[in-house]
Amino acid sequence: MRKSLIFIIAILASVHIADGQIVGPKIVCQNTFATFDLPNAGNSTSVTWNIPSSVPVTTNMKTRSVTVQFTDTGFITLSATYSKKTYNYTVHVVYCPSTDCAGTKASSPFLFEDFGTLPNGTARTPLPPGYTTYKYLSSGWINDGQYIVSDSVNNGRKEWVKTTDHTGNLYGGMMLVNASFQPDTFYTRVITGLCQGAQYSFSAWLLNANGKLVLQSDTICSGKYIYPNLAFVVLDARTGTELGRVNTNDVSMKLVTNGSGQIVDDPTWQRYGFGFRTPPGVDSVKLIMYNIAPGGCGNDIAIDDIEFTYCGPTLIAYLHNSDQSNDTICSGNPDTIFASVTPGYFSHPTYQWQVSLDGVNWTNIAGATDSVYIIPSTDTSDTRYYRFLAAEQGQIGYSTCNSPSNMVHLLVLRSPVVHPGDTTICAGGTATLRAQEGYTSYLWSTGATTSSIMVSPPTTTKYYVTASLSSGAAGTCTATDSSLVTVFDPSSVNLGADTNLCVGNTLTLSPFHGYTPSGLTYLWSTGDTTPSIQVTTSGSYWVKVFSPACGEIDDTIQVNFHNPPIVNLGNDTAICQGQSLTLNAGNAGSTYLWNTGATTQQIPTDTAGIYWVKVTSPYGCSASDTLQLTVNPSPIVNLGPDIAICQGQNFTLDAGNPGGSYLWNTGDTSEMITINTGGTYWARVTNTYGCAAADTIQIALNPPASCPSGGCFPVYFQSFGEAAQPSDTTLMPPIPDSISRGFQGTPLTYYAANPFCPPQGTYALRYLSGRCDGKWVSDLDHTPGDTNGYMLIVNPQKQHDMLYRDTIKGTCASYTYTFSLWVANLFKSNGTKPNLILSIIDPITNTIIQQYKTGPIDNTLSLDGIHLNWQQVSMRFQIPSATNAFIFEIDNNGPSSAIGNDFAIDDISLEICKPIPQIMLNGQVKDTVQLCANSKAQFTSQLFPDTLRAAIYQWQFSTDKINWTNIPGANGKTYTIDSVRPSHSGYYRLLVSEPWNAGDPDCALFSNLIYLQVNPLPIVNLGPDTAICQGESLTLNAGNSGASYLWNTGATTQQITVNTTGTYWVNVTNSYGCSAADTMQLTVNPLPIVNLGPDTAICQGESLMLDAGNSGATYLWSTGATTQQININTAGTYWV
């Protein structure tokens, strides 16, 4: 702080604060204190602060000064409203890094500067030279550019807050700094001996020394308070290269609300700093803390507990599992130790395993540099300790850079060695088995406890011996070995019975079966000396076996080879679906095995596949054959179920199977036909394989009054499943908890203890309805012929017990739903009859949309007196427009604790019925309507039934029946095209919905499709109006060859010839039935009347005037003259 308090008081009258300013930090760290002040509010408690994205620290937010902590980052604009005027202020909230060893293991700090402890009377001392650029003041107030080491923040200044150091120690030292006008170093140190690539943390605790007095005074800072702002910087100590930096940004004081609602100082330390990793080649750094904000009014800071810490990895050595650090093994067995290092701490971790005999002095194990170390086996007892060092690659040899793990302890005990050996005896002989002597105890598999035993087994036997060697309290090691005593029985030499085989087979002859004893020699009748031989020809074979224990043993066998049968199933073939083929393997008297499992000589088949048969002759000789059967598919013709259509309604029958040939009873040969009359229709389809099939459909023609009222579709069905088999008494699992809470009352309890005696207030799922005390009818569920279908058995206890409940989502408002179920009274004798409530519930408001009470359900038994009489109950309902889901629920409406009122429920269903929109084009309901260009297309629509409350219409157009586009402006029940063009050709349909269902494809209603084909008009042009002269004629041509014609003259030809004045028109109709006309005006002009008079004569010397008349005409005389009149005086013929 630049000025002393005395001087400030002296100039109170000359300083004031500008109106309309909020004083506060410009940049703050997220989740740190941010204090704001509205100076011109004075001591008012009527200020309204609006500070978004923050948590108030000051509970009274009506005063001129408040403190908050921002929870979000970014530029945040806050406001304060006072005396009907609002003041805005923008602060930049930034993320500041963590100051601890997050995710790592903090070691003892390399540097920890707490500025000592200052008991009363202890002299204060400055920091060592080079630690700061600020001037030390041993006592008194510090001014700009000065610092002091003190045990109190205010150090005697009334405008500074009063508190202890960061730890709360009454005598703990801290560094108080009055910042310079220019950036200067608060604190700096050089740290050496660091590890390359290691993680470190640099931090300090800071406190804004100023409080409410400085912030609110209109004479101290005059609304120009400067918040402290420090930079933490780490440099490479050798090169000065910056390795990391973080700014504290503006450090605010903290104000809180006391018990009287007043704003008071609450000086609270805040920790700032950051973590960084040393780059390769850097082992010493320079730490710097300096001020960024300029000196002046404010910018006074207290600093404590400057810390520089190595954030090392967590190292764990373990045996077998992560928490085992001790093990005892016997010699001869290896063991494995594992290393675990904090994941991702090292870029390239290196390891060095160490061993110790005492856990204090450690030796590196040569070559043990992996994360796993396998301890070699040893034949001597031993005790060892193991641990590992871990460091970044290249630094494992530096003690400050490698961290030791915990140690594991391994105790090795000596094990015995046992080798009794194997031997062979002749049947009835004996053998002596000996183990190595000198061990603590022995135990043979015979129970003997001596080092040797004598045995005489009847068959080959393996004997086991376990020797134990005790090492006292450390433990005992054991070793087990075995001795195989092979018993050779001379009677085991047996070539078997005389054998018949098939030609082409090979027989292996061996005197032993299942195993071949060792130590024997052989001589065969073939001269072979091997344990076995292979033969392929008939004959008598013998063998001599020589055993060291039993001598020579002989045996003989007769072998005969026979020819196999001949099997021929024929060539691969094909049949049509529905036909069958009989396969014959021949060779009567043999045995047969087909790949189908059949064992007869012949088998019929109608399934495609590969068929083979194996035929075995009486001698056991076999042969096989294979046939490939192709079953070509018959066309699947499905004209659909019999159906009734409305009068005037077109219905398209599709025989399917594109590419086939078709024959309908109508004589049509196309895949599809369109009909609009009732009757029986059939189609026969033959596919490319030549396979044929047919189907028939009955079309009933209903009058309009009996047309269907809409399309109904199931949306929910609950049949409660089936038992695994009819006699299965296992219960189905209970109904899921999602339907366990009822609207009307408490749900029943699933009863599993005795499903045939459920008490009141319970339910069970069973396939048989009887009760253990005989009071209920014993019968199956509602579905006829279903012998193992489950039903819901309920025994209500109270009125409004909830029996069943589920939720339907994605519903369609305004459409009609039908909720139905089947109910049967279980009680044999007279009692309370079942009485149900069916409810439809809004899941948002939990209110009833609609409810139906069935009343008592009678008729316990059917007419035969022994079966349940199932009765269907149902209700129809609609849901409100604002509801897109509903809950349906079944509740008991019978009295509480009544006799009877026991019943079964089955086949719960929900069905939605939607109206069907039907469109017509110019009054026609056809798949295709042809119109001529320029004619009017009038689309109309009708809903069956017309039940929508607020229908929305949208006509749509498509050229391929797949991709549809909305026609702009076509939003009514009708759509009109005043003059169609070829571009209007395509498919049309109507999409109908309601405002609350708009956009929901499940609720959309699509009409039938109509294809509009716009046919071109003939182009008729008789030419322009024209004129001819009297006596001439004109030919008029209507063009459009092949069309039909009608002239106003009555002619019907393409051309007519006319020679009289008048108007002529023609109407041309082309092959599409489209007509066009044209008109022309013909004028027949009269010829001029020219009369030169009769031939005449004149006398020589006279002249004659010839006058052509017709004044205004043009003239040409035989003389070449072009005038109306000429004079002539010579004889001759004259014309004009």
Angle at 212 between CA 209 and CA 213, to 5 degrees: 90
Q: What is the pLDDT of residue 123?
A: 59
Q: Which of 45, 43, 38, 44 is CA-nearest to residue 18? A: 38
Structure tokens at 559: 């072998």
CA distance 966 to 983: 16
Query: Which residues have a Cβ under 8 Å from the Cβ of 675 and sit 6 or more positions away?
Result: 650, 651, 652, 653, 666, 681, 699
Question: Which residues, in sequence order, are bridge partners of residue 905?
Answer: 792, 823
Higher pLDDT, 990 or 109: 990
> CB atoms < 10 A from the CB of 385, how many?
18
Residue 550 has pLDDT above 50, yes or no: yes
- pLDDT over 90 at 435, yes or no: no
Using the predicted structure, report yes or no on whether residue 518 has a pLDDT greater than 50. Answer: yes
> Greater confidence, 168 or 10?
168
Tokens 């630094």 belong to residue: 395
CATH superfamily of 1026-1085: Immunoglobulins (2.60.40.10)
**Mean of the pLDDT values across residues 979-999?**
89
CA distance 880 to 886: 10
CA 36 to chain centre: 48
Spatial contact of 201 and 112, defined as CB atoms under 8 Å apart: no
pLDDT in tens, 97-116: 877 776 566 666 778 888 88
State which fold the 5-93 domain adopts.
Answer: Immunoglobulin-like (2.60.40)
Mean pLDDT to the nearest integer, 989-1014: 86
pLDDT for residue 345 is more than 70: yes
Residues 294-306: tens digit of each pLDDT = 777 888 999 999 9
- 8 Å CB contact between 71 and 31: yes
Order of strands across the sheet that contains 33-37: 33-37, 65-70, 54-56
Q: Which residues contact 260 (CB under 8 A, 6 or more apart)?
A: none
Q: Are 796 and 894 in contact (CB under 8 A)?
A: yes
Q: Is 774's pLDDT higher than 60?
A: yes
526-535 long-range CB contacts below 8 Å, 24 or more apart?
A: 532/508, 533/508, 533/509, 534/506, 534/507, 534/508, 534/509, 535/506, 535/507, 535/509, 535/559
540, pLDDT greater than 60: yes
At 703, is the pLDDT very low, low, confident or very high (cuts 50, 70, 90)? low
Q: What is the pLDDT of residue 738?
A: 34
pLDDT tens, residue by residue, 936-953: 898 988 887 777 778 889
Q: Residue 737 pLDDT more than 60?
A: no
User: Does residue 591 or residue 345 have the better pLDDT?
Assistant: 591
CA distance 833 to 859: 9
Q: Band of the pLDDT at 488, cuts 50, 70, 90?
A: confident
Pull the structure tokens for residue 1074: 């489209």
Beta bridge partners of 443: 466
Question: What is the per-residue pLDDT for 67?
Answer: 94
Half-sphere exposure of 1011 (CA within 13 A, CB side): 7
Instruction: Kindly report the CATH class assigned to 315-413.
Output: mainly beta
Summarize the confidence of residues 352-356 as an average pLDDT.
92
pLDDT score of 746: 63
Would you tell me how many other CB atoms lie within 10 Å of the CB of residue 992? 22
Residue-wise pLDDT tens digits, 556-575: 999 998 888 999 999 998 88
The answer to which of 353-367, 623-637, 939-953, 1085-1099 has the lowest mean pLDDT is: 939-953
Q: Where in the chain is the domain with CATH 2.60.40.10?
A: 5-93, 315-413, 490-562, 573-632, 643-706, 916-1015, 1026-1085
Residue 781, token pair as written in the block: 């569920």
Q: Which residues of 929-967 are buried (b: 16+ CB within 10 A; e: fewer)?
A: bebbbeeebebebbbbeebbeebebbbbbeeeeeebeee
Contact 254, 230 (CB under 8 A): no
- The whole-number pLDDT of residue 923 equals 65
Q: Give CA–CA dist 226/298, Å, rounded.
A: 5
**CA dist 756 to 475, 727, 763, 811, Å?**
62, 14, 10, 39
* 171 phi/psi in degrees, rounded to 5: -115, 10
- pLDDT for 710 equals 59
Q: Is the pLDDT of residue 248 over 60?
A: yes
Residue 52 pLDDT grade (very low, low, confident, very high; cuts 50, 70, 90): very high
Reading the block at residue 761, the tokens are 């207030």
Burial 579-609 (b: 16+ CB within 10 A, else e): eebebebbbeebebbbeeebeebebebeeee
Does residue 11 carry a pLDDT above 70? Answer: no
pLDDT band for position 347 (cuts 50, 70, 90)? confident
Q: Whose structure tokens read 């500074």?
A: 160
CATH code for the domain defined by 573-632: 2.60.40.10
pLDDT of 1030 strictly over 90: no
Domain with CATH 2.60.120 in the chain: 98-245+253-312, 711-914
967: nearest Cα among 941, 1002, 942, 991: 991
pLDDT at residue 238 is higher than 90:
yes
Q: Are 1032 and 1059 in contact (CB under 8 A)?
A: yes
Q: Measuring CA to CA, how many Å separate 670 from each of 579, 664, 673, 688?
A: 27, 8, 7, 15
**Cα 1132 to Cα 303: distance, rounded to the nearest angstrom:** 146
CA 933 – CA 280 distance, rounded (Å): 84
Q: Does the pLDDT at position 121 exceed 60?
A: no
Q: How far apart are CA 105 and CA 126, in angstroms?
A: 34
More confident residue, 549 or 818: 818
Q: Are 647 and 703 in contact (CB under 8 A)?
A: yes
Domain range 711-914, CATH class? mainly beta
Half-sphere exposure of 854 (CA within 13 A, CB side): 25
Domain boundaries 490-562, CATH class: mainly beta
The DSSP code sequence of 1001-1030 is TTT-EE---EEEEEEPPP-----S-EEEET
Q: Which of 192-196, 236-240, 638-642, 1033-1037 is least confident?
A: 638-642
CA distances from residue 818 to 391, 672, 809, 874, 911 in whole angstroms, order as listed: 75, 35, 16, 7, 5
pLDDT given at position 707: 53
Q: CB of 112 within 8 A of CB of 187?
A: no
Mean pLDDT for all residues in the chain = 84
Q: Average of pLDDT values for 628-653?
A: 76
With 60 as the cut, is the pLDDT of residue 809 above it? Answer: yes
Give the pLDDT mean for 372-392: 82
pLDDT at 3: 38
Q: Which of 504, 510, 540, 507 is nearest to 525 (CA)?
A: 540
Tell whether the model's pLDDT for residue 724 goes beyond 70.
no
Domain 916-1015: assigned CATH number: 2.60.40.10
Across 57-68, average pLDDT = 92
CATH C-level class of 643-706: mainly beta
Distance (Å, whole) CA 310 – CA 107:
6
Is 781 in contact with 752 (CB distance < 8 Å)? no
pLDDT band at 1011 (very low <50, low <70, confident <90, very high): very high
Question: What number of other Cβ atoms are within 10 A of residue 170's Cβ?
Answer: 12
Query: Which of 203-207, 377-381, 692-696, 771-775 shows the lowest per-residue confidence on average (mean pLDDT)?
Result: 377-381
Q: Report how far residue 636's alpha carbon sits from residue 659's, in angstroms, rounded to the nearest whole number.
A: 13
Hey, what are 1064's tokens?
A: 């002529």
For residues 418 and 479, is the Cβ–Cβ distance under 8 A? yes
Q: Which residues pair with 534 in a beta bridge?
A: 508
Q: How confident is the model at residue 1093 (pLDDT cuts 50, 70, 90)?
A: confident
**Which of the given ranges, 70-84, 145-159, 1053-1067, has the highest pLDDT on average?**
70-84
Can you list the positions of beta strands (E) in 665-720?
A: 672-675, 679-686, 692-702, 711-718
